[in-house]
Structure 1
Amino acid sequence: MLGDLNKGELIEFLEKQVIGRLGCHANGETYVVPINYVYKDNAIYGHSGNGKKIDMMRINPKVCFEVDEIIDTFRWTSAILNGNFIELFGEERQQAMQGIIHRIMPLTDRPSEEPSHGINPEKHNQIIVYKIVLTSVSGKYESHFDYI
């Protein structure tokens, strides 16, 4: 059975996942890259070093974000989100970064070796923290209960 996720199911799905694919477009080029994220209050929060995706989002803040969970060909869930990139500073940046670290770190099997989510403490201030304020969201699923 194919279906659409309702708002509650979509929020629950986004809160459960931690990896999504960020799509940006600038200067005639489209770029899609996986990122760790946290969903909260109608926004996707992420972080990155300087590089291609940050450069592209600064030029064109309109982005697309995709999250999926695939069990097999006939059992999957997917969400497509559109929104606007906003770079964070000050207290909002700090809170977002802490939220990302607290969400991601319990999922590693080597937390003592990755105390800052793989971020060199000396370069912590060079990390760009951002949010994508969502403007549209949709989610779909496929589920076959008679599938064995």
Structure 2
Amino acid sequence: MAFKQISQAEIDDLLSVERVMRVGFEANGEHYLVPLGFIWHGGALYAMTTKGRKTQLAAANPKVSFQIDTSARTGPFSWHSISGEGTFEIVTDSKEVKAISPLLVSRFPDMPNWMQAEYAEKQEQGKVVFVRIRPSEMTGRKSEPA
């Protein structure tokens, strides 16, 4: 097995196909890792989530790390992976939210009814936020037979 860097084109392909990223937060001596559904749009990773531990940690330290890979589809021995760092921001511009919201929703046509209902309820309560991670660094690797 050989590990190789992947090209920007391969990174872009992976970002257009995969739907889940893991985001690492660190603030006040606390570390937190969470999966988030995402889209890649305009050079940033966007997600819809709820207020809570991750948004509290990001308010204290907006610098995050992230990782996206193909191992769920390909197995643990043949994979493509992207790792990076960036700034976690809550999107407050209503025009940006209006542009991103349908893109995120269309990315998850298989979202179960119970989750749709839960998000609708949380949205009514003002608990849903749209977030953006602007990568400051992003690299990719792959594992394949030598």
| Range with greater deviation from structure 2 (78-87 or 118-127) | 118-127
Say whether residues 1:99 and 2:103 are aligned partners: yes
Distance 1:74 1:47, change over 3 A: same
Compute the RMSD of aligned alpha carbons.
2.0
CA contact (8 A) 2:122 2:128 kept: no
1:15/1:40 contact within 8 Å kept: no
Residue 77 of structure 2 is matched in structure 1 by 74
Alignment-derived partner of residue 15 in structure 2:
14
Runs of at least 4 residues off by over 6 Å: none
Distance in 2 of aligned mates of 1:143 and 1:52:
37
Aligned counterpart in structure 2 of residue 87 of structure 1, from 85, 90, 95: 90
Question: Does the 8 A contact of 1:18 with 1:36 survive in 2?
Answer: yes
Distance in 2 separating the partners of 1:122 and 1:144: 46
Query: Are the structure 2 counterparts of residues 118 and 19 from structure 1 closer, same or farther at C-alpha, using a change threshold of 3 Å?
Result: farther
Total equivalences in the alignment = 141
Shift of residue 123, structure 1, vs aligned partner:
2.4
- My pick for the range that moved more, 66-75 or 117-126, is 117-126
CA-to-aligned-CA distance 1:49-80 (integer Å, 9 cap, x gap): 11100111111110111011112332111110
2:108 is paired with a residue whose SS is: helix
Moved more, 20-29 or 117-126: 117-126
- In structure 1, the gaps of 5 or more residues are none
Q: Is the 8 A contact 1:15 1:39 kept in 2?
A: yes
Query: Relative to structure 1, is the Cα distance of residues 142 and 45 closer, same or farther in structure 2, using a 3 angstrom cutoff?
Result: same
Q: How does 1:39-58 map to 2 (within 5 A)?
A: 39-58=40-59
In 1: Cα distance, 2:117 partner to 2:140 partner:
29
- Stretch moving more, 21-30 or 96-105: 96-105
Letter in 2 for 1:28: G
SS in 1 for 2:119: coil
Match of 1:23 in 2: 24
- Deviations along 1:14-39, one digit per CA (max 9) or x if unpaired, are 11100110101111111001110111
Letter in 2 for 1:96: I
- How far apart in 2 are the matches of 1:117 and 1:140? 38
C-alpha change, 1:4 and 1:118, in structure 2 (3 Å) is farther
